[in-house]
Structure formats: C-alpha cells, structure tokens
C-alpha cells in the first residue's frame, strides 16, 4: 500500500529517481544502521574495548537479508523505535559471546542519526551529479543562443529584448552556486552522531571521545565538537539547501511552462507520442515535466518548514520534533531528485523556435524598442525629454494602430536628431542586447570549471 505518490510503483517515477527512492527505502535504511553497528564494533575492537573476534562476527552478521523484518516491525509498534529490535536481531544472528558486545556505549539516536548521515552523503552525491549535468546542459544552450534575440518580459509584458542565451544563463547560474553550497554544507552535515544516553558517553568513561573518533574514521565521516542529538542545524541545513535547489528549478520550470503557452510557443519540452497528452483533447502538449517540478518544489518548501520547526528540541532528547524529521527529510531528497531529473530532461531535449521568437518580438509593432530609441536620443535631448518623446510616440502608435517606426519617422522632433537609417538601426532587437553576451560568457565559463 502506498500513501505518498513518491512511494508508488505506478506514480513513483514521476516524483523521484529510482536510486534516491531506493536509498530511503526500508532495506537501505536498515542496512545503513547495521553498517553503523558493525563500524562501532570494529572501532571499539581497535581500542581494545571488545574482542576482535566479536567485531568480526558482528560485521559478518550485519546484513539486512539476515534479519526478520516482521519481528522488527512488531517490536517497533511496541517500542516506537527500531534500534532495540535491530540490536536483538543482530545479536540473534551473531550468536554466542560476540552478541553481548553489540551497541556498546551507543543509544538509539546514535545509530539512527549516523545512518541518516550516510543516507545524506549518498543523497548529496546523487544531487550533485544531477546538478552538474543540468547546469552543463543549460550552459550549452546559453552558449548556443548567446546572441539570439527574444522578448524580455517584465510583469508578463514585453519589456526590452534580451537573448535566449541570457535567459538560459539566468536558469543556470544559481545551480553553480548551489553546488558550492552543497560542498560547503557537506563539511558540516556529514558528521558522526555518537553521544550515548544524554550526550556524555558516560558508559565509556574516558574513552568516549576516542570511540567517537574511531567510529567516524570507520565510516569516513567528520567528528563534531559534541553530539548533536538536539542540535539539529545540520539536518535543517540539508533540507533548506534542497529547498533552495527546488526554488531555482521551479523558476526554470515556470518559465518553460509560460514559454510553451500557445500564444507564445517559443520553447517546448522534449516530445514523444503520448507525452503531455489529454484524455479528451488530441492536440494537447502539456508542460508535464515543468508541472511536476513546480509541484515537487512546493512540497519540498513545505517540508523545509517542518525541518526548521524541528530544531526546537527539548532538553537532551526531543519529544516529537526528532521524529518529525523522518516524515520530512526523505521527502525533500526524493522530490528534489525527481525535480532534477525532470529539469535535465527539459534542458537536454527542449525544442527552441527562434523564428517564433523573432515573430513575437514584432507583436508590439516595434514598441519593445522604445527604450532603445530613447537611449539613442538621450545624448541630444537629455534622458527625461527623450523618455517623454518616446512615451508620446508610443501612445500615438497604439492609438493609431501604426508601428513605432512609422510614428518616429513622422515626428518632427525625432527627425531633428535621427535619420531614417538611424531609426532603423535603433529598432533592431539584435542591436539592443547590452551586456547579455558578457553575462552569458561568465556563466558558461563558471560552469565549465565545475568538477
């Protein structure tokens, strides 16, 4: 039975990638907890706290396929947490004297949180890989269409020309920044959790800190200054970062959906028979990938709020906020993976209609170039006067149903300063792209340096 569509065999592929969904499945989660228990036994054996033979036996037994999940599930319903049952199962499988050396000095949250960190480490790897691929695909589009004019739109109205390459660069630039954030966050987030009952590791006496270091070394994790049982800034940071990534993906998706409108029709998602179709309208090509990105982003942003509120944890062990993280953080990772996959599909396969872009630039009969002409008149008339002249000419063009170019040619005040050839030059969208090409080159160069 599936309640969340991301967990559904039918709908799941729309919401998350198979690898990310598998990473947060029960088998993967419990295997990582077993990995932590095995690593703890090895670490304590190296420090002489448990026999090496016992650590070896625990490591051999610590495989998910050896467990009886039904027995664990039954115990979880009673105890409200999985580790006691997991340790009992691991002891049963290990057998003999070695079983009594399992879980020495640890508490449930140590195992669950450290396993979560291992999940996040792999999840970060997946996210990073797809971010790089998406950024590179958008950078390639930016370079290809560096100087291709398209209507720039502000408040959903034609503003001034930009280039489609510039638009792609705007989509790509935040992704490079998110990669930097991801690498920075990894140093803070990917740390071991080992504190025992209340964070002091009292059962290990003076060896507690050494065991924490040895456990971290076994797992390839960092060591925090102290256990973070109730200091949840790292998990909240991970969620917030995924929220930022989804925010940038949502901006990209929204733009694509708007560009796909029948009245605009400048860019389209990749198409195959049946994709984006309707059950009743045979002609439809809906922006399905963009829609799922936007939906996923909304849900991730909602879950970021859950993670932030979960930072308020009482005393040395939380009564509820910690448990709420398990509802929120896996969804953040899974939905982000799905949004990235949809984003890659769009960026790598989008159809771009440059002829439609050119035609749409002409929809306003030249009014989109009003600022350009005003800028051309400014040296002779001053900015305010030039702006007033173009405002008056634009109103006249609209009122008379004429092109701005025709009105300007008939305007005596304009003709004092600009000839017909100069007006034509100023009315060319390709000549009024400003520093768009420079900005594109910067973004493309930055993404080219990504590792």
Residue 230: predicted pLDDT: 97
Least confident of 244-253, 266-275, 277-286, 425-434: 277-286
Residues catalogued as catalytic: 278, 317
- Please name the CATH architecture into which domain 109-191+228-361+435-451 falls: Up-down Bundle (1.20)
Residue 1: predicted pLDDT: 65
Determine contact, residues 422/375, Cβ cutoff 8 Å. no
Residue 75: predicted pLDDT: 85
More confident residue, 71 or 26: 26
3-state secondary structure of 298: helix
Whether the per-residue pLDDT at 279 is higher than 60: the answer is no
Residue 285: predicted pLDDT: 79
Dist CA 187 CA 32 (whole Å): 20
The structural domains of the chain, with segments of one domain joined by +, span 13-106, 109-191+228-361+435-451, 367-426
**Mean per-residue pLDDT for 125-148?**
98
Taken in order 86, 88, 92, 94, the sign of the CA dihedral is positive
Q: At what angle do helices 321-349 and 233-259 cross, to 10 degrees?
A: 30
What mean pLDDT value characterizes the chain? 95
Whether the per-residue pLDDT at 284 is higher than 80: the answer is no
Whether the per-residue pLDDT at 2 is higher than 90: the answer is no
Distances (CA, A) of 192 to 6, 68, 235, 307: 29, 27, 12, 19
Share of the chain above pLDDT 70, in %: 97
Instruction: Report angle CA 209, 214, 215 to the nearest 5 degrees.
Output: 95
In the block, residue with structure tokens 């400003």: 434
Q: Pairing between strand 351-352 and 267-268?
A: antiparallel
Residue 278: predicted pLDDT: 56
Dist CA 162 CA 168 (whole Å): 11
Residue 423: predicted pLDDT: 93
Share of the chain above pLDDT 90, in %: 91
List Cβ neighbours of 73 (8 Å cut-off, separation of 6 or more). none
Provide the pLDDT confidence category of residue 282 given band limits of 50, 70 and 90: low
- Residue 243, token pair as written in the block: 């929220």
Provide the pLDDT confidence category of residue 3 given band limits of 50, 70 and 90: confident
- Residue 256, token pair as written in the block: 């694509």
CATH 1.10.238.10 for domain 13-106: no
Whether the per-residue pLDDT at 302 is higher than 70: the answer is yes
Determine contact, residues 430/147, Cβ cutoff 8 Å. yes
pLDDT in tens, 329-370: 999 999 999 999 999 999 999 999 999 999 999 999 999 999
Q: Pairing between strand 149-154 and 157-163?
A: antiparallel
Fold of 367-426: Ribonucleotide Reductase Protein R1; domain 1 (1.10.40)
More confident residue, 283 or 110: 110
């Amino acid at each position: 039975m599936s309640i969340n569509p991301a967990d559904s065999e039918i709908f799941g592929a729309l919401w998350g990638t198979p690898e990310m969904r598998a990473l947060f499945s029960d088998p993967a989660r419990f295997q990582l907890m077993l990995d932590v228990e095995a690593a703890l036994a090895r670490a304590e054996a190296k420090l002489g706290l448990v026999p090496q033979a016992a650590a070896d036996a625990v490591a051999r037994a610590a495989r998910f396929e050896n467990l009886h999940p039904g027995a664990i599930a039954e115990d979880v319903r009673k105890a409200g947490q999985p580790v006691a049952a997991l340790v009992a199962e691991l002891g049963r499988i290990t057998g003999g004297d070695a079983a009594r050396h399992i879980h020495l000095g640890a508490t449930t949250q140590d195992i669950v949180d450290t396993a979560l960190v291992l999940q996040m480490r792999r999840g970060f790897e997946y996210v990073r890989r797809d971010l790089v691929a998406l950024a590179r695909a958008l950078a390639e589009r930016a370079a290809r269409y560096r100087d291709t004019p398209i209507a720039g739109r502000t408040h959903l109205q034609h503003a001034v020309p930009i280039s489609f390459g510039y638009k792609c660069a705007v989509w790509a630039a935040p992704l490079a920044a998110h990669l930097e954030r991801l690498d920075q966050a990894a140093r803070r987030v990917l740390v071991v959790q080992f504190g025992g009952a209340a964070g002091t590791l009292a059962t290990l006496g003076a060896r507690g800190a050494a065991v924490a270091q040895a456990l971290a070394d076994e797992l390839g994790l960092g060591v925090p200054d102290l256990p973070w049982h109730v200091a949840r800034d790292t998990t909240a940071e991970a969620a917030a970062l995924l929220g930022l990534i989804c925010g940038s993906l949502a901006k990209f998706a929204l733009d694509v959906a708007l560009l796909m409108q029948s009245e605009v029709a400048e860019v389209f998602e990749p198409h195959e028979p049946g994709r984006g179709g309707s059950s009743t309208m045979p002609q439809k090509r809906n922006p399905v990938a963009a829609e799922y990105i936007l939906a996923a982003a909304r849900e991730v942003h909602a879950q970021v709020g859950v993670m932030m509120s979960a930072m308020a944890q009482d005393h040395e062990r939380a009564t509820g906020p910690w448990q709420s993280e398990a509802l929120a953080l896996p969804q953040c990772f899974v939905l982000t993976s799905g949004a990235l996959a949809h984003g890659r599909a769009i960026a790598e396969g989008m159809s771009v209609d440059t002829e439609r872009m050119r035609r749409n630039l002409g929809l306003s009969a030249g009014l989109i170039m009003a600022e350009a002409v005003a800028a051309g008149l400014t040296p002779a008339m001053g900015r305010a006067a030039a702006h007033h002249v173009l405002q008056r000419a634009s109103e006249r063009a609209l009122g008379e149903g004429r092109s701005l170019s025709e009105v300007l040619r008939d305007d005596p005040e304009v003709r004092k300063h600009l000839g017909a050839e100069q007006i034509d030059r100023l009315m060319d969208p390709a000549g009024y792209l400003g520093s768009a090409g420079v900005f594109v080159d910067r973004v493309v160069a930055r993404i080219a340096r990504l590792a």
